[in-house]
Amino acid sequence: MALQKKKPLSVYIHVPFCARKCLYCDFASGPADAAEIAYYMRVLQKEIRSFSAIATLYRVETVFFGGGTPSFVSPVYIEQLMNLLRNQFDFAERAEITLEANPGTLTEEKLKIYRGAGISRLSLGLQSVHDEELKLLGRIHTWTDFLESYELARKAGFDNINIDLMSALPRQTMASWQDSLKKTADLEPEHISAYSLIIEEGTPLYEKYGEGLGRLALPGEELDREMYHYTKDFLAGRGYARYEISNYARPGFECRHNLTYWTMGDYLGFGRAAASFLEGRRFTNPAEAAEYWQAARTSYQHFRAQKPESRREQMEEYMFLGLRTARGVSREEFKKRFGTPFPRVYEKTLLDFYRQGLLTQEGGRIFLTDEGIDVSNIVLAEFLLDEKEIV
Ligand code: SF4
């Protein structure tokens, strides 16, 4: 009997604990005591086990421990979760296994256990090389703390490291952003993510800078765009290609896990507020702790109960996510996936954007131009469809 080919799968594990809440953060995360962490980890394992019925159909290509701060909890939990995943699923030989870590929470001992557990990639939250900017964001670490953690990680053998940076901070100047970029690139990480700060309502930073006179401390839109363009050119000069709106990598070090999201591959998310997309069904776990504890044990049934997304929704997402990447979307893949040629669905939208110079095409692929990236939210929103537009 021919063996059924296993489908590729990405797994996200949410660890919602942090040493302290940063002042800009609206994620499902925060401090917790040892008992709460231990309980959460038990529930998380039950949730993963609830998917055992379909585990044999898949081969795990990537795992991403995100948060929160996964490096805040005992590394033994990470080891246990990896053992459980390996017992339950087949893993690809060169699976990419990322762990998000914050400076100030890493030790030699932890890094050694991560290596033993198979973690192959670290994502370090730096945000800025300036201590006064880190303080303003409410980060727990300094630039010196970061350098210590980075050195420890390299010594422990990590040869695939991402560094997160953040621009458009209150009172940030172009010179200070350039300095952050330069000092980060000098360290030669394999990957750099550079996002603009978004001041979310309900956070302490919003109270200070979200409205009224406080907004004046924020770099205006023009400076924000200047920072963005500088980032792309500077990092290109250092050998980092922009492969998604906010992500830059040395050749061969693009984050495979995130590429699963942007190309609409299958992924399962475990933990509070974790999202999944599997077999055309999209579902998200409750963000509230008590609700998640209730739901986690029957997570698999929850997945089965979801209606698969409509063809229209999938087309929209395919465009919306794919156009975020530098490779853009392929006409051929679109036809293969949806059984209808690309222009038949999006003819008018495409022509309008080609004329305005916001989209371009090459080798059967369509992607945003630099001008298109500057207004990407507006461009991407135009790929939402009416039911009647689908042929
Ligand atoms: S470390 Fe990350 S998840 Fe934790 S509070 Fe800060 S921004 Fe939020």
**pLDDT class for 360, splitting at 50, 70, 90?**
very high
Over residues 240-244, the mean pLDDT reads 97
Question: How many domains does the chain contain in total?
Answer: 2
Is residue 342 situated within a structural domain? yes
CA 70 / ligand 1 centre spacing (Å): 10
Residue span of the structural domain in which 238 resides: 7-262
- Which tokens go with 327? 């490779």
Q: What is the pLDDT of residue 341?
A: 83
pLDDT at 152 over 70: yes
Is residue 91 situated within a structural domain? yes
Is residue 240 situated within a structural domain? yes
**Is the CB–ligand 1 distance for residue 184 below 6 Å?**
no
**Is the CB–ligand 1 distance for residue 230 below 6 Å?**
no
* DSSP states of 224-271: HHHHHHHHHHHHHHTT-EEEETTEEE-TT-S-HHHHHHHTT--EEEES
Q: What is the pLDDT of residue 340?
A: 87
- Which tokens go with 328? 């853009």
Same domain, 176 and 322: no
CA 299 / ligand 1 centre spacing (Å): 26
163-205 pLDDT, tens digit each:
999 999 999 999 999 999 999 999 999 999 999 999 999 999 9
Same domain, 253 and 357: no
Closest CA to 261 of 276, 250, 249: 276
Same domain, 67 and 145: yes
Residue 355 sits in a domain of what CATH number?
A: 1.10.10.920
| Measured CA distances, 368 to 104, 250, 360 (Å) | 38, 21, 6
**pLDDT class for 254, splitting at 50, 70, 90?**
very high
pLDDT at 236 over 80: yes
275-328 pLDDT, tens digit each:
999 999 999 999 999 999 999 989 999 999 999 999 889 999 999 999 999 999
d(CA 215, CA 195): 19
- To test the pocket of ligand 1, the residue of 17, 23, 24, 25 to mutate (highest count of ligand atoms within 8 Å of its CB) is 25
Q: What is the pLDDT of residue 387?
A: 56
Is residue 144 situated within a structural domain? yes
Q: What is the pLDDT of residue 194?
A: 98
202-212 pLDDT, tens digit each:
999 999 998 88
**Is the CB–ligand 1 distance for residue 123 below 6 Å?**
no
DSSP SS3 for 212:
helix
CA 2 / ligand 1 centre spacing (Å): 47
Q: What is the pLDDT of residue 386?
A: 65
Residue 107 sits in a domain of what CATH number?
A: 3.80.30.20
CA 104 / ligand 1 centre spacing (Å): 13
CB 240 within 8 A of CB 251: no
Is residue 161 situated within a structural domain? yes
Same domain, 94 and 237: yes
**Is the CB–ligand 1 distance for residue 22 below 6 Å?**
yes
pLDDT at 213 over 90: no
**Is the CB–ligand 1 distance for residue 195 below 6 Å?**
no
Q: What is the pLDDT of residue 389?
A: 55
Is residue 120 situated within a structural domain? yes
CB 303 within 8 A of CB 314: no
Q: What is the pLDDT of residue 384?
A: 82
